[in-house]
Amino acid sequence: MAGDFMPESEAPKAPEIHNFKCMQCGTTIEVHVPGQSLTFACGACGSIVQEDNTGQRILTQASQLNRYKPLFTLGSKVTFRGFKWQIIGFMVRSDAEESYFWREYLLFNPYEGYRFLMEADGHWNFMFVTKKQPSNASLNVKWGGRRYRRFYIGNARVRYVLGEFYWRVKVGDSAAVQDFIAPPDILSSEKDEGESEITWTAGIYIPADDIQKAFNLIGTMPQQTGVAPNQPSKFYAKRNSLLLHWLSFVILLIAFQLIRGAGATKKVYDQVLIRDSKLTTELLKTQSFQVEKDGRNMELKLRAPLTNTWLGLSGKIVPEDGQGQVISFQRELASYDVGDDDSPLRETSVELFFPKLPKGHYHFEFQLDRDPALLPNGGRWEAGTNTLEVLATLDPPLQSNLIICLILISIYPLFYLLRDFGFENSRWSTSNQMSGG
Amino acid sequence: MANISCPGCGAQLVLQSPATIFVVCSYCRSTLIRDQDWTVYGKMANLPAEITPLQIGTQGSFKGEGFELIGRQRLQWANGYWTEWCANFPKGKTAWLAEAQGLLMISFPTPLPDEAKQWGELKAGAYLKMGNATFMIDDVKTARCIGSEGELPFTALSNKEITSIDASNPAGAFLSLELVPATGERRAYVGEYVEFKDLHLKNLRKLDGW
């Protein structure tokens, strides 16, 4: 039986200790993952020891200039996202210009393997190595059924290491990195200087609160600033449902207006009157029309085609049944290719609104005045078509009410979209890929 | 299953796989190679310490088929270590469960791809065809056996040198080729990365603190 090959496993042994003494300062360096860790950095003097390819431990860097403090005790264990993890390594990296620093913690579980916990500007990502390669590393990549957008291309340079790592690492090591985002997910590629192999890691944005709750911090939580590349937008999460609600309201509103308008709106007068353009003043009197019920609103649209001239309009609504008052109004229409402010002026139509007309018969009278200073052109004051279009409608749909309603129901969604836009702007402001929005 | 008596110490060893030609005696650590009979080829040193929940006798299943780990070889290359566990399936089928850098891979023997018949041509970035699938070579590395235990279908004496070629495709499948320069042996395996939980492993090694 298989048991014949494992007599050792029957008697439990004392835990093996794999620690060794730092070749530089003699302090004990703990080894948590023997047989896999290749780099060990002394917590006391900062020396870096690496295993060579025969398994010998060699002092590689005798000290480290800069020292940084991890937020968690190395070697401690934590339960996070369903598994127990031992925090075994801490690394500080920066871009090539040293303008941007971030921190990475290496987590180990003998059943699950390794994870990386990254912190930059107080924002956290939990990442794992994946061997599933994305479609192709250009501006957009597809991975695991999602589309990721390239956010950053740059270099990552090691500034400080502490603890143990399963690869060889020392201060100054540089890697070419690319970040792709599909918030809250992130996908990163890394290629060490002088190596051909590309390592892909995938991860997810972790709210700082989750870290605070799960981990034992030995320092203060770093202040969160800006928007992280893959930070999920709380605005975006609600955007689609909000737009859908808004659209439903708009459709309802328009449908309501259409139904109400179709039922009551009635054209009572629709004629094209002919003007006599040889005259400087002229009176036009229309045929009569009827308002069948009391208290109806009337909209009157007037339009006259004009070319480089004006037309004075003194109008009257004249009741014919002896009762009620004459309603007067005055307007001026004008059309000039070059207006007062050097731009064309086109005011050749006017809309008037008369509320609550008593029932009865009416007609319109229009007193037209032309520019007396204008010399008659071939005996005419105006060029072109000499018409006055008159259209009177009872109980027109109240466009202004509709517009007010639209504005009211759009305030909140608009505010929301602006917030969302602002969030995405802040996100992409730290990208060097210029593909924001 | 076959019973053999260790020529080194006389212990009774039960072999799980008919394909086994190499055994490390679990009592005296003699390395035995099957020729006409079983011959002692020396002693295997204790394997260097490592943290792994796998051990000989660990049982699991992959895609509904049960297996048991019956042997392993541990390898070292320029940038670290990996372990190849021999997984014995029913009817003499053998697979390999590899543990490297916290990742698990399972692979099955496959005929050599045509391109792999010319080893010298194989470099990182080159392509290998396996049926309809195309694999790109990720790396070509030299590794050394630093220890073995249990039973294996090939010899795995300490310091045996191999050339290991890893190729993968975007779907996450991988093809690995193994050449033993000293003997001219060439083997190809095709497989995939697996999650620990997906193998339904039991009879695992107990780990202190975990």
Q: Which tens digit of pLDDT belongs to each residue from A55-69?
A: 899 999 998 887 899
Q: Tell me, what's the pLDDT at A379?
A: 67
Q: Which two tokens stand for residue A338?
A: 């070059």
Residue span of the structural domain in which B8 resides: 2-199
CB contact under 8 A, A113 and B51: no
Q: Among residues A201, A202, A205, A203, which one has the least CA distance to residue A230?
A: A205
Q: CB distance A132–B171 less than 8 Å? A: yes
Dump pLDDT digits (tens) for B21-69. Answer: 999 999 999 999 998 889 999 999 888 889 999 999 999 999 999 999 9
- By C-alpha distance, the chain A residue nearest B50 is A35
So what's the pLDDT on residue A197? 78
Query: Is the pLDDT score of A204 beyond 70?
Result: yes
Query: How far apart, in Å, are the Cα atoms of B163 and each of B48, B108, B111, B140?
Result: 22, 18, 17, 7
Compute the average pLDDT of residues A230-240. Answer: 82
Which has more pLDDT, B14 or B171?
B14
Dihedral pair phi/psi, residue A259, rounded to 5°? -65, -45
For B201, name the nearest residue in chain A, comparing CA atoms only: A111
The structural domains of chain A, with segments of one domain joined by +, span 16-232, 266-396
Output A143 or B170, whichever has higher pLDDT: A143
Between chains, do B49 and A38 touch, taking CB under 8 Å as contact? no
Contact A166, A36 (CB under 8 A): yes
CA distance A234 to B82: 43
Q: How far B97 CA sits from the closest chain A CA (Å)?
A: 14
Q: Looking at residue A263, what is its pLDDT?
A: 59
Query: Over 60: is that where the pLDDT of A7 sits?
Result: no
Record: contact B170-A197, CB cut-off 8 A: no
Q: How far apart are the first and last CA of chain B?
A: 34
User: Residue A180: helix, strand or coil by DSSP?
Assistant: strand
pLDDT for the residue A5: 47
Q: Count of CB contacts below 8 A, A vs B?
A: 113
Residue A122 CA from chain centroid, whole number: 22
CATH topology of domain A266-396: Jelly Rolls (2.60.120)
3-state class percentages of chain A: helix first, strand second, coil last, to nearest 5: 20, 45, 40
| Tokens 């090694």 belong to residue | B205
- C-alpha to C-alpha distance for A127 and A199, rounded to whole angstroms: 12
Number of domains in chain B: 1
- Check: CB of residue A199 under 8 Å from CB of residue A129: yes
Interacting residues of A142 by C-beta distance below 8 A, sequence separation 6+: A134, A135, A148
Contacts of A238 (CB under 8 A, 6+ apart): A416
Instruction: Tokens for A296, please give them.
Output: 């109806």
Lowest-confidence segment of A83-87, A125-129, A143-147, A362-366 by average pLDDT: A143-147
Percent of chain A with pLDDT over 90: 55
For residue A6, the model assigns a pLDDT of 46
Percent of chain B clearing pLDDT 90 (strictly above): 67
Cβ-based neighbour number of residue A359 at 10 Å: 15
Q: What length does chain A have? A: 437
SS3 B25: coil
Does residue A137 contact residue A179 with C-beta atoms inside 8 Å? no
| B115 in a structural domain | yes
pLDDT of residue A3: 42
**How far A224 CA sits from the closest chain B CA (Å)?**
31
Highest mean predicted confidence (pLDDT) among A12-16, A91-95, B170-174: A91-95
pLDDT at A222 over 50: yes
With CB atoms and an 8 Å threshold, state whether A34 touches B205: no
Asked if A196 and B125 come within 8 Å (Cβ–Cβ), the reply is yes
Average pLDDT, chain A: 88
Above 0.90 for ipTM, yes or no? yes
pLDDT at B126 over 70: yes
For residue range A264-315, list pLDDT tens digits in order. 678 889 999 998 888 888 999 999 999 888 888 899 999 999 888 889 999 9
Q: Which one is predicted more confidently, B201 or B173?
A: B201
Task: Answer yes or no: is pLDDT of A387 > 60.
Answer: yes
Strand partners, B34: B38
CB atoms near residue A267 (< 10 Å): 11
In sequence order, what DSSP letters do the residues of A254-311 get, joined into one string? HHHHHHHHHHH-EEEEEEEEEP-TT-SEEEEEPPPEEE-STTEEEEEEEE---SSEEE
Beta bridge partners of B163: B142, B179
Question: Which chain A residue lies closest to B169 (C-alpha atoms)?
Answer: A133
If we measure between CA atoms, which residue out of A189, A186, A190 comes closest to residue A174?
Answer: A190
**What counts of helices (H) and strands (E) characterise chain A?**
3, 25
Tens digits of per-residue pLDDT, B83-111?
999 999 988 899 999 999 999 999 999 99
Q: Is residue B206 part of a domain?
A: no
Would you put residue A183 in left (φ > 0), alpha (ψ -120 to 50) or beta?
Answer: beta
In a domain, residue B157? The reply is yes
